[in-house]
Structure 1
Amino acid sequence: MFEALKKKINKTITKITKKISDKEKTIEEPIKEPKTIEEETEEKTIEESIREPETIEEEGERFKIFSFIREKTISEKDIEDVLWDLEMSLLESDVAIDVAEKITKELKKQLVGKKVKRSTDIIEYTQEALKNSIKEILTVNGKDINKILQEKKNKKEPFIIMFVGINGTGKTTTIAKMAKYFLDRGLTPVIAASDTFRAGAIEQLTHHAEKLGVKIIKHEKGADPAAVAFDAVEHARAKGKDVVLIDTAGRMQTNVNLMDEMAKIKRVVKPDFIIFVGDSLTGNDAVEQAIKFDESVGVDAIILTKADADAKGGAALSIGYVINKPIIFLGTGQGYEDLVEFKPEWMIHQLFT
């Protein structure tokens, strides 16, 4: 997972380490003419014969001199070409340009002016600086899904979640995974098949609902999507169900009719939470889709699918920062349990271990 991005990060750490180490070596080891064996032996004999014990003060002064020689202050010039390479590498990994620029700027801010010694582990220092930069990108505050769920339970009202995203991203499977997620926590979900434009979507959701033992509310193909969602919410209220999971049509985000339909569903059922489901393999396309859906209907959180097959990692690194909404889960397979709760620390662990 995210192998390509991990390699690019490691390459950057290696380049910075080599750059600084080479500079240290130049300072510490001035070029000298080679000596003959006889000259070295003679110098050693003379030095040993005249050396006097050093006082504590003299030893301290000598230590200061050598500390200064062995210490290097990182300058902008030392790392500017490496940072440029890093930014290009991030863009090649489908990282959004705003994110790539922020990471390199933060890394520069943390490194330039820092003093490093020969004994200092430059690799570890650079790695920590990169971790801090990436963690800041990934840390996005948003609505707390568990807090809202608890509030709804206290009011004896169903927690209504609406899922948006284009076809082919794994939205239907993600809804089934979320149903299993709530079932495992002792909650009772109901699914609304509000993608009435595709008979296949209704059939697929029905298949998942039957396997999970979850109630599905569906109408005929071509029915009003908002009416299906409304019926599902009314069913949940009447039967004391805890969660309503609403599927929506997944045509391209530029389709005005689609956006109007979703806006209507939102007006009718007033969802507590809207989740954008994106395919992590599509990189910047997923980011652009999220922007459009957020502008049209509003997005509260993100689920990225197919993360297990994503070598680049650009979408996972970029999408939350760009639309300022948190990623809450990653899909990591086809099984109902293949849903990983997303935390910045988790992704940092993936990239640096």
Structure 2
Amino acid sequence: MFESLKKKFSRTSEKLEEELIEEAEKEDNLQEESGQRFSFFSFGRKKEEEKEEDDSNLLPESSESEDADLDEEIKSEDEEEEKKSRFWSRGKDKSEDDEEEDSEEEEKKSRFWSRGKDKSEDDEEDSDEEEDSEEEEKKSHFWSRNKDKKEDISADGEASGGIFSFVREKTISEKHVEDILWELEMELLQGDVAMEVASAVCDSVKNDLVGKKIKRSNDITEYTYIALRNAVAEIIDIPGKSMTEMIEEKKAQGEPLVVMFVGINGTGKTTTIGKLANYYLKKGYTPVIAASDTFRAGAIEQVTYHADNVGVKIIKHKKGSDPAAVAYDAVEHAKAQGKELVLIDTAGRMQTNVNLMDEMKKIRRVANPDLVIFVGDALTGNDATEQASKFNEAIDIDGVILTKADADSKGGASLSIGYVIQRPIMFLGVGQGYDDIMEYDAEWMLDQLFSESEDEAEVLEE
């Protein structure tokens, strides 16, 4: 899910790193050392695992063993010939390998003092590039590392091959992030993110990053990751009660929770009602469906099909009858039978159709729903956000359900819709089956946006 957004976030981190390292090179304020380089998305997981560990863990564990090897090497010079031979050649005859051992000894010492240099030389050989100086070598290593990412990055999301550190600590300034965040804003807009949301994300990231002091290139990745995650967390976490909590509250009062669904044709509104009926039936509640879409040909048959499939009662009148009367009858049936949930299907209508919008207002007056939920198609991006805004102006919606979220690579609607209308997303449709619906959770959404995993969404269980 949301692969397009993930790439935009990752590129922002990479561009900032390139900007700062290029500037540091010009200032002669850069050195490369052996270490593990964290990829953007795995960085958060790695930091969680290493929260209680020393910062020195960013350096390779092998450096300690190399120190020990060198100490042993120097110590062994004062020992007997036989022990020295056993240490260096594992039982080979010293007289045959004397010269080779001396050479290896010097090579190890040399590698200890200049292993960063040797590392970049190894990378140079692997990529078949010849550089004239150590400085060009380092630059080549930096600019080509994304190209070689598949070879360098391990299964844990780490890469060996050197991290950059700054001789003098650097501070992220506005000039470093200005162009990068402008590019991010443009990319978010192209990804169907609403303008006010794109601006809010970029402003938040800028406020978080400017003034941060960095010592290593991994610091840049860390700060960018945290800044972007915090910015998105503020956008997608709109407070509100869950439908399950509201059912329990109404049940305590001896009343059913009445939910009215609105939206345009083709968004999956009727199928979503079938999914929700199934969802709450499995939770031990007894839903009833009102077939209040009496205008569209086949609408009553369609919602009846879903009701029969999941095994819930449907209240319906003949085609062309008053939709408000159907909704009223369903509410009365639920009260009489002690059912906890009424799901009212309404005719899909464009937000610009004044007459149909007035009819929807009548259903609201008669049925007096506790919740009015807009059902939008996540794949339509900004259109879904615009539709939700218009419905909210006309009828004052209480929440949103986004369908087809599992197929949404851009993520524009998921990121924007709740923030723009200041109403919570309540459920996400994540597949075509009746079980493919999940209660919205902001933390889950963050994990989808800031995780390397592209596995299909799993339904959260309480």
TM-score with structure 1 setting the length: 0.87
Q: What amino acid is aligned across from residue 290 of structure 1 in structure 2? A: A
Correspondence 1:170 to 2:170? no
The partner residue of 1:110 within 208, 211, 231 is 208
Summarize deviations over 1:154-207 as a string: whole Å, max 9, x none: 111111000010000000000001101110110000000001001321111101
Partner Cα separation in structure 1 for residue 241 and residue 229 of structure 2: 25
Partner Cα separation in structure 2 for residue 337 and residue 305 of structure 1: 13
- SS state at 1:95 partner: coil
Partner Cα separation in structure 2 for residue 187 and residue 224 of structure 1: 28
Structure 1 residues 171 and 270: alpha-carbon distance in aligned structure 2, compared to 1, 3 A threshold: same
> 1:18 offset after TM fit, Å?
1.4
- SS state at 1:312 partner: coil
Give the aligned partner of residue 248 of structure 1: 346
Give the aligned partner of residue 100 of structure 2: none
Query: Are the aligned partners of 1:24 and 1:70 in contact in 2 as well (CA < 8 Å)?
Result: no
Query: Which is bigger in relative contact order (C-alpha 8 A, separation at least 6)?
Result: 1
> 1:322 offset after TM fit, Å?
0.1
Give the aligned partner of residue 245 of structure 2: 147
The partner residue of 1:90 within 188, 199, 206 is 188
The partner residue of 1:100 within 194, 198, 214 is 198
Partner Cα separation in structure 2 for residue 21 and residue 303 of structure 1: 44
- SS state at 2:314 partner: strand
Partner Cα separation in structure 1 for residue 412 and residue 166 of structure 2: 42
Summarize deviations over 1:231-262 as a string: whole Å, max 9, x none: 10111111111100000111111111111111
> 1:21 offset after TM fit, Å?
2.2
Summarize deviations over 1:326-352 as a string: whole Å, max 9, x none: 111111111011112222211221121
Partner Cα separation in structure 2 for residue 6 and residue 20 of structure 1: 22
Q: What amino acid is aligned across from residue 177 of structure 2 in structure 1? A: I
- SS state at 2:261 partner: strand
Query: Are the aligned partners of 1:206 and 1:216 in contact in 2 as well (CA < 8 Å)?
Result: yes
Give the aligned partner of residue 227 of structure 1: 325
Give the aligned partner of residue 218 of structure 1: 316
Partner Cα separation in structure 2 for residue 212 and residue 68 of structure 1: 62
User: What are the residue-to-residue correspondences of 1:1-353 with 2, within 5 Å?
Assistant: 1-29=1-29, 69-118=167-216, 120-353=218-451
> 1:26 offset after TM fit, Å?
2.9
Q: What amino acid is aligned across from residue 5 of structure 1 in structure 2? A: L
> 1:121 offset after TM fit, Å?
2.5
Summarize deviations over 1:203-247 as a string: whole Å, max 9, x none: 111011111110000111111000000010111111111100000
Query: Are the aligned partners of 2:402 and 2:414 in contact in 1 as well (CA < 8 Å)?
Result: yes
Query: Are the aligned partners of 1:193 and 1:248 in contact in 2 as well (CA < 8 Å)?
Result: yes
- SS state at 2:321 partner: coil
Runs of 5+ unmatched residues, structure 1: 36-66
Partner Cα separation in structure 2 for residue 68 and residue 94 of structure 1: 38
- SS state at 2:434 partner: coil
Summarize deviations over 1:8-62 as a string: whole Å, max 9, x none: 11111111121122223333449xxx99xxxxxxxxxxxxxxxxxxxxxxxxxxx
Structure 1 residues 226 and 120: alpha-carbon distance in aligned structure 2, compared to 1, 3 A threshold: same
> 1:324 offset after TM fit, Å?
0.0
Identity across aligned pairs (percent)? 63
Query: Are the aligned partners of 1:143 and 1:300 in contact in 2 as well (CA < 8 Å)?
Result: no
Partner Cα separation in structure 1 for residue 166 and residue 395 of structure 2: 60
- SS state at 2:298 partner: helix
Query: Are the aligned partners of 2:291 and 2:346 in contact in 1 as well (CA < 8 Å)?
Result: yes
> 1:277 offset after TM fit, Å?
0.2
Query: Are the aligned partners of 2:427 and 2:440 in contact in 1 as well (CA < 8 Å)?
Result: yes
Partner Cα separation in structure 2 for residue 112 and residue 205 of structure 1: 54
Aligned residues: 319
Partner Cα separation in structure 2 for residue 351 and residue 233 of structure 1: 40
Summarize deviations over 1:304-326 as a string: whole Å, max 9, x none: 00111111100000000000001
- SS state at 1:150 partner: helix
Query: Are the aligned partners of 2:24 and 2:166 in contact in 1 as well (CA < 8 Å)?
Result: no
Q: What amino acid is aligned across from residue 247 of structure 1 in structure 2? A: D
Summarize deviations over 1:271-292 as a string: whole Å, max 9, x none: 0111100001111110011011
Q: What amino acid is aligned across from residue 8 of structure 2 in structure 1? A: K
Query: Are the aligned partners of 2:17 and 2:217 in contact in 1 as well (CA < 8 Å)?
Result: no
Runs of 5+ unmatched residues, structure 2: 31-131, 134-164, 452-462
Query: Are the aligned partners of 1:142 and 1:300 in contact in 2 as well (CA < 8 Å)?
Result: no
Structure 1 residues 212 and 120: alpha-carbon distance in aligned structure 2, compared to 1, 3 A threshold: closer
Partner Cα separation in structure 1 for residue 10 and residue 431 of structure 2: 27
Structure 1 residues 201 and 26: alpha-carbon distance in aligned structure 2, compared to 1, 3 A threshold: same
Q: Which has the larger radius of gyration?
A: 2
